[in-house]
Structure 1
């Protein structure tokens, strides 16, 4: 039996002398018998200024230990009972002892039993923060399950010393119970369970649990033994779409349940950039199959076509990456992804892994800087785990604390280098005003290094730009040593502007809705946002303003007394000058057919719509996309671009009419190709107004948003550069004839542009770069 694992990260390392060695201690419960097992530890030493001591940081330290099962045998007899496993770490004369906890998935979550004889096995169990090895004799082993016309027939091996025994089936929560005779014949047994018993409570899908009942009243689990071949599976039942699931629980005890079918993967092949899965699922039906990947926080869904190779079999290629709306290939976003098999009628089947494929897991491939793994959880549920781009050592609490408090300040004492550090929304990629500033610097041929923060490898940058992983050592170093920091949102809270360093805050929106200290509700204050903002603003060298209207508001809302550069937003140079060649490439990247009118729907976020798990905000789509498709689908396409804070899949996207462009890298390129903009209170209206194209405002919650959530800086109802519509049906009707819908708003539109777009002449990037290089 081989144990492998690691030490969980701690907030602080321990200071110890010399090198360390580790032993595993096996102690039998209720006995003084014990044994030692050597391990092979891997430690990550961290230096300290205290001479004579070495900080041994055990965060993520790995170990392996092999346990010979013959240790549980004495004079030819297996010593039944439970052995507790603990680790003793010796560092010089110092000794510390502790237990083991199971990992959250894989064989450590549901450790497999190890058969050491035909009727004896060693079962690892985690309990009370200790690993325990239970040596147990199994007198009855189920080795076959066959469904007949009216019964489930079980057969297997039985110990000759077993006397009169029966099988008890019970539902712990439901209270139902039945007893079935077990017939022993030599070394084998048979038992017949009528289907009427199993289907009698069809209104409940709670499993029947099986146990042996001996003549003296003793009970023990009825263990499934699949050493000779599969026992578990799902079997069709006459007269119902549900199936009989023959399964085993974490103790390998038999479970029976009447439930909808699942997809069982029994073949797993690793590719260079993904996996091929093969499996079975009853009645794949007519029409296409899809493998659905759904992020565990509910913020993303990916779909891949699957092939029905027969009425009962399917096969699918599962990439370890994804394509964005703009066609970029990126690794899967960090986190756990649930797998579902969706049939043509929309039914989703849970994807499980058959015991025959357990040994193929974990399966792992490397995509860029990430490792993407297939794993199992809850015994047989298959899922995908996309790792962090940071190593385990880099993301530990100890490492991050040290990088912030030691390495970042130390790097700040060195020379500044001629480099520009760019950040867009905390590492989302190449876009917005920082992207425009980069292009202007390249156009001028300024001799600086360009460094771009990218979080979780979820962004691509142009040639000549170096990426750094957010929170990596090189990210901290770049923040401390780059002469120029350019960002469109908040910089990390530990950043302090050095002498000679220029921090350019471009921000990311013009001003209709109130921001920062001007917001009169508790959502921002409760999150500690305003305190963090007050700490950050003194370190800005210059704050970019999009217009004379916005300048005094920005200074007041941010409580910023430094320089405000009234330049216009660099990102809008593209919209002011236009670029027909780029527009054609964007349409091609999106796959929009020629001749289709492009409607871009870009709503803002609502502070009161935070997801229950804290992962961003809900989309709360009020637009009836089916009605829009019916009315506009022949000659329109609808692109939906949620706010950056909104992370939720768009139902129905990808049908040729509805496009989810939430992950398109740069929204300015979407504005470049859009014929009509639909928004609500988003600052995107100010950008799109530069083009002079029509804008419709879908303001279904105007009063609440204005009076409760945010409030406005001007009278939106009288100054909006387009009609306000309050229902989805009104919006669809307006889109059918946009010219007629917007005819009465030409003067408002002109006045809006004169007030808010006066600086949008295509030269904002040049003005910002001039100021930045001036120091």
Structure 2
């Protein structure tokens, strides 16, 4: 007989055929098998009903319902009426549920007896996952059997699909869902919080919310008037419950959330809406701001306060300017402290006559920010802790905060004061990521006397919480430390070593989910007194009981990923200890096992490592078939089988070399000769391998290399590099970090060619070598850039007879800028030719002088050059001096919407569109366009009235003038034989798979390996991703006949090298047709592409070749 369901899952379906299968599959794959899935087809006109029927036929747990109510509340209520399980949950079709989510939530409720349990959510968009900011706060730690009075901030989470209710509680105290409104869940979730006798918050992700590309979900339709009225009505309904039934503290927290999040977002939509929409938002803003008292406003960020105040009085243009100001300058603007209050120091046009309290940043927005960077044990037994603590929004440029610290016993509240030694570092300000404030002076170092905490009278394990206080300009904040620098020792901080086997406790620094950084005094129950390695895969040892156990011990177990792999019987010894022997399975790859002892009741116990002075921290062998005992950072016994191990013990950095001293275990040192320094973009072989003392070797890597056969060694490009060595089993070894070296990380170095960060990869003991442009400390980070931009704006510069060139984001010296540079050089122009470059890897033309983007020299060159030539726009800091001429060349024929058309599609306001046009047209003195029809396009799209040069692109002159020797030279640089037929594949980026403002995933619909195989050895495929793809890393081109030329600097070279091109929507097609060579267009997503980004004119006539949709069609056409 089938057991009845434990959980009813209710899903309302309305025209959701595209996402329905993914949703239902995630429900049926739950580890909690005893569920019923109630699918309500609410008037769908697509294939949703057919899909529901398929699932109902396939799985008896699926129960279909047909509805014609056409709104979520009624449909969900119909589902509740059909539900039979003691627990109930609700899911949207755009959601997927992690496989263990329901088991976790139901088990939690069965254990706690609470009315409902809520997990974290994760947003999924364009293949990228993210967590909303409020998730980190609400679900940072597990909170069980709490009430809304205990934690009012729980009401930041009013998502429906990430929680499970007790059916009885939902029916009697929460439901039914309101009908006739579309935001019906908000009020119900608030009601549940207020009326629950207790609820549970868990950190585990229990719902993946897919943010649809089309705005069809309810919450993505906030800008629609009908949805607006429902949202405001739902908030009013929730307020009635909160005001009538909750305490003032809870009511203030909820009201603050609505003001800070819900209504503030509606103000953004109202700016672009009609008067009817604005009237409703204005009334709601007035109504809710009048309800808010001082305690509610403490929950609201200052930028939200201002926009709400302006909306409440109908000042929509000022509200728009306020929103744009904070978008550009950050949510924490420049501030000043007056009588202990932190006030926003805003520009004059935002100094509106209103209550001074609206300019005050509340305690939540100006809370203590604290972080631990290093934790190390000293020879005197003290724990040295290095970190920082500052008050967000209080500038420390001209002051030093008073930082104090103490430990507090979490069990007894006993307090221990600590001596604090201040220090200063620009890394602190960079860590903050704040543009408007400096926190360099906020560093602290302190020593914790472990012996004073671990006294002989300690009878139970306890945790001492670190509390840090900062006082600056009369403002004081205090709190625990919840952040760590993840790239150093802090994430692998080590327990103190034992002085003897008889020591009953260990002192363990760790990060507690709830308390933050703590020092734990841990009384161990079990300790290994001996561990030994007895031969291939054979290990043994002895375990002593230090503290009584409730049940006798039976076996030792080795576990992988929570699953027991090996068990072995314990044998009691005459002295009361237990001996054991264990045999591990053979593995030819690194495997780590958790080592535990099992008692008769099935409980698992950790085993403490023996005294380090007598046993060290590792016991065993390396090589095929071997295994090792390892001490974990917290001082427990672990097992590892690792055929070979490569670890770094020291590093040296110079202008042209990185030297890494390594120790290799379990493999022939000869394999080190094949070591690579590798990033996502390229691999560099070791220059040489040198013998070093103590069996170590030095790997010497040049950080200068010649690329594309140029013959000129240039600094390696920016990127995060690791060291890998091919092993003897056909795989590869990654270089780890030895513990002593890890304690020094992260290390920062500056050479003339690179800034270098030596660090540990977060989440692993893997060495990373990050190379970047060699900017100084005064040039790195948002705050430094803000100060330099201000210096640029406020300073007077002497005009220089020089041309400043820049292309794209500075990764290349190319395009029309390169051609103009070359022509000026050919003519012998008496001008200095200066290039803004991203880093020193950029290959520059003869006669060029590079300045690093973001450097003081870069700002000075932009300000002092009489002539400016760019194919992109400078950032907002830029303003053209009276002595300057600026030629804007753009970087491709116009086709996709831009300027006014693009900004209107993004719903920018008229004021902001006017501003964006003015800041460009005030800068440009001339623009260069490739054809006469383009002139009117640019004039219309940018409201431009200046000079237009209709010359064609200078970069394209070579396409009609180059002879055959040029092609041979280019093919030689690319490493391609001239007798091959060369196919250029150059897809553009897609808005739908963009990952940032300047990055996107590669469009991979064309099966490149299949294409290369079909074409055969006589062909070579040049793969040219867009610049946006390059910023995502190397493209996957594993086939021998495919050459990734995405980082090749000159696109015109590639046009000349290729015999045929496969293109799509890129402006490259306009350049290609100048050659007269054949071209194909691979456009399987033509309709989707043109709907995502409108075109300025019809696509078809601009693509003079066959339009293809499959790889097979491309093969045949070529």
Q: Please give the TM-score of this superposition, normalised by the length of structure 1.
A: 0.74
In the other structure, the counterpart of 2:487 is: 105
Pick from 1053, 1075, 1091: which aligns with 1:669?
Answer: 1053
Match of 2:879 in 1: 496
Q: CA deviation digits over 1:191-213, x for unaligned, max 9?
A: 234659x99xxxxx995452587
- The answer (yes or no) to whether the contact 2:900–2:942 under 8 Å persists in 1 is yes
Maintained 8 Å contact 1:274/1:365: no
Does structure 1 retain, via aligned residues, the 8 Å contact 2:488–2:742?
Answer: no
Unpaired runs of 5+ residues, structure 1, are 47-54, 200-204, 736-775
- Aligned partners of 1:333, 1:77: CA distance in 2, in Å? 55
Q: How many residues align?
A: 701
Query: Are 2:940 and 1:553 equivalent residues in the alignment?
Result: no
Residue number in structure 2 paired with 1:251: 634
1:36 aligns with 2:418: yes
2:217 is aligned to none
Instruction: Specify the alignment match of 1:50 in structure 2.
Output: none
Q: Is the 8 A contact 2:793 2:877 kept in 1?
A: no
Report the equivalent of 1:131.
517
SS of alignment partner, residue 498 of structure 1: coil
Deviation per CA, 1:426-485: give whole Å up to 9, x if none. 222311111222223333343433332222445232454333332333333333333322
Could you say which residue in structure 2 is the equivalent of 1:586? 970
Alpha-carbon separation, structure 1, partners of 2:912 and 2:1001: 20
Provide the secondary structure at the position in 2 that maps to 1:697.
Answer: strand
Alpha-carbon distance between aligned partners in 2 of 1:599 and 1:529, rounded to the nearest angstrom? 44
- The alignment partner of 1:620 has SS state of coil
Listed one character per residue, the Cα deviations across residues 228-286 of structure 1 (whole Å, up to 9, x for unaligned) are: 34537798999xxxx9786555523334589xx686323556365235555457899x9
Residue 691 of structure 1 corresponds to which residue in structure 2?
Answer: 1075
Per-residue deviation at 1:424?
A: 0.7
Question: Partners of 1:733 and 1:307 in 2: how far apart?
Answer: 48
Q: Which residue of 2 aligns with 1:568?
A: 952
Does residue 399 in structure 1 map to residue 784 in structure 2? yes
**Does 2:645 correspond to 1:264?**
yes
The answer for the alignment partner of 1:619 in structure 2 is: 1002
Is this contact kept in 1: 2:507–2:521, CA < 8 A? yes
Q: 1: distance between equivalents of 2:401 and 2:903?
A: 57
For residues 189 and 320 of structure 1, the distance between their equivalents in structure 2, rounded to whole angstroms, comes to 55
Distance 1:502 1:151 in 2: 77
User: 1:160 Cα shift?
Assistant: 8.0
Aligned-pair Cα RMSD in Å: 5.1
The one of 802, 819, 843 equivalent to 1:460 is 843
Q: CA deviation at 1:123?
A: 1.9
| 1:223 equivalenced with 2:612 (yes/no) | no
- In the alignment, does 2:1087 pair up with 1:704? yes
**Matched residue of 1:550: which SS?**
helix
Aligned residue for 1:678, secondary structure, equals: strand
The CA distance in 2 between the partners of 1:331 and 1:6, in whole Å, is: 33
Q: Is the 8 A contact 1:143 1:231 kept in 2?
A: no
Query: What is the match of residue 104 of structure 2?
Result: none
Native 8 Å contact 2:646 2:733 kept in 1: no
Distance across 1 between alignment mates of 2:600 and 2:740: 31
**Using a 3 Å threshold, how does the CA distance of structure 1 residues 625 and 703 change in structure 2: closer, same or farther?**
closer
Q: Which residue of 2 aligns with 1:14?
A: 395
The question of whether the paired residues in 2 share the 8 Å contact of 1:26 and 1:86 is answered with yes
Aligned: 1:181 with 2:545: no
Residue 191 (str. 1) matches residue 572 (str. 2): no
- State the partner residue of 1:49: none
Deviation string 1:95-138 (CA, Å, 9 cap, x unpaired) is: 76555432112211121122262345432223357432234455
What is the SS of the residue equivalent to 1:504?
strand
Which residue does the alignment assign to 2:765? 380
| SS of residue in 2 equivalent to 1:377 | coil
The residue number in structure 1 matching 2:339 is none
Alpha-carbon distance in structure 2 between the residues aligned to 1:385 and 1:214: 51
Contact kept, 8 Å, 1:165 with 1:182, in 2: the verdict is no
Report the counterpart of residue 926 of structure 2 in structure 1: 542
Which one of 1036, 1041, 1048 corresponds to residue 651 of structure 1? Answer: 1036
Deviation, 1:66, is 4.8
* Segment of structure 1 superposing worse, 340-349 or 139-148: 340-349
2: CA distance, partners of 1:77 / 1:11: 38
Residues 436-455 of structure 1 aligned to structure 2 (within 5 Å): 436-455=819-838
**CA separation of 1:294 and 1:531: change in aligned 2, threshold 3 A:** farther
| In structure 2, distance between residues paired with 1:726 and 1:45 | 51
Residue in 2 aligned with 1:729?
1112
Query: Which residue of structure 2 lines up, in the alignment, with residue 58 of structure 1?
Result: 439
Task: Give the distance between the partners of 2:610 and 2:402, measured in 1 at CA.
Answer: 40
SS at match of 2:938: helix
Mark the runs of 5 or more structure 2 residues left unpaired by the alignment: 1-376, 379-383, 429-435, 691-695
Q: C-alpha separation between the residues in 2 aligned to 1:248 and 1:78?
A: 25
Which structure is higher in helix share?
2
- SS of the equivalent of 2:579 reads strand
Indicate the residue corresponding to 1:638 in structure 2: 1021
Matched, 1:153 2:535: no
- Matched with 1:740 is none
Alignment match, 2:98: none
- The answer on whether the counterparts of 2:930 and 2:951 sit within 8 Å (CA) in structure 1 is yes
Q: Is the alpha carbon distance of 1:59 and 1:715 closer, same or farther for their aligned partners in structure 2, counting shifts above 3 Å?
A: same
Return the alpha-carbon distance in structure 1 between the equivalents of residues 1082 and 915 of structure 2: 32
Shift of 1:596: 3.1
Other structure's SS at 1:39 match: strand
Mapped pair 1:370 → 2:755 = yes
TM-score with structure 2 setting the length? 0.53
Contact 1:421 1:451 in 2 (8 A): yes
Alpha-carbon distance in structure 1 between the residues aligned to 2:962 and 2:440: 53
* Larger deviation, residues 359-368 vs 571-580: 359-368
